[in-house]
Structure 1
């Protein structure tokens, strides 16, 4: 999701502000996820969203860290297009970032003879509301002092091991700092299990895997949410002071945009 959201926002801006017809091609791990469906259905009518199947877990070799993708060459099969926009995982085409972070890289790319010009855009974050009611965590943040909350979110496609989950919970409890924690069901051994393999805990209630009594002991200064939170609203809230993240692309963009370290 972290790589789909910035491109979905860019596609919506191209369509709504400049009248372009845009095709958004994505291969999310779980196309049935509520977060992905809410974004796909809220795009302008000029944006055609195409979902490609994500490879099954047994497609990847053991200990895989780089995910192989099959992509067309922008200089051959896509020659009839007016423009192609890719994100930083599309290494077969061209990297996409914004100049404030990658100024040296863009100068080098654009200095190569025979290559088409590359224009950095962004940061791009999803700013279109997909909710009809204010989320409970935003109401909780409204009651907290400015800059007092540690927001902990490991990402939509990442998970922690049992040991990592326990250590993180104990650290938050012992710190006595206000925190908002988005938790997912852990995996027995693999920290990258949710991304590259199946897990026996998938489909379970993530709150069931917290240390015994954790929620009760921390209810005066912490809020725990299962699986998901409206991250753009959390990071943009005045009460949020620190972001503990897996450093995914979308999380980095939203953190920089909102000035949260």
Structure 2
């Protein structure tokens, strides 16, 4: 009886210690982004500087200041939230926002949740028939998981960008002219639910990959155009190349 009492009493300090440890770990996770996310769904990046979105239609994108981020968010909302597809496209075009969210009638395409991001241009989706690997059409990012190649320059950054863009998200899948490549991967354009962000194009637009122009595809001219813009602006890997 006494031993039981001593054992029970001896557990109390340990319980307090475990409770405190759990609280500290939880707090550390909650404040890992410098105090949590603000009303825009982003935060100031204390290490790299600037402002970064973790939620919302601009999830995964970074800006030099919070004001620049707010302006971009307002621009996106004004261009894509109301009116007919034709009206949205016209407004977006004037504002410099990619207008291809309506190009493939993505709203009518099947949507699947993202199981994982394999690398900067390949994802795995959950479908009724199981997990399906999808290779993004028109995009080529530096290798990170190739069995015969080392991790290539800017590959980790490209993979992280896509993970931030699609973590916990679902995507509409629009297939290309050829449905499957030589490795058995499904070939497709992906549009994020529910904002319609054209994922393939966003990788090119933000400078995390090259437009894959070896074979013709529906949006080849568009992708090449945004690649030139990213290069001129020194975005992503283009900025690193210019400063190496």
Instruction: Give me the TM-score of the superposition, normalised by structure 2.
Output: 0.25
Looking at secondary structure, tell me which structure has more strand per residue. Answer: 2
- Give the structure with higher Rg (CA): 2
Instruction: Give me the TM-score of the superposition, normalised by structure 1.
Output: 0.23
Structure scoring higher RCO (CA < 8 A, sep ≥ 6) equals 1
Looking at secondary structure, tell me which structure has more helix per residue. Answer: 2
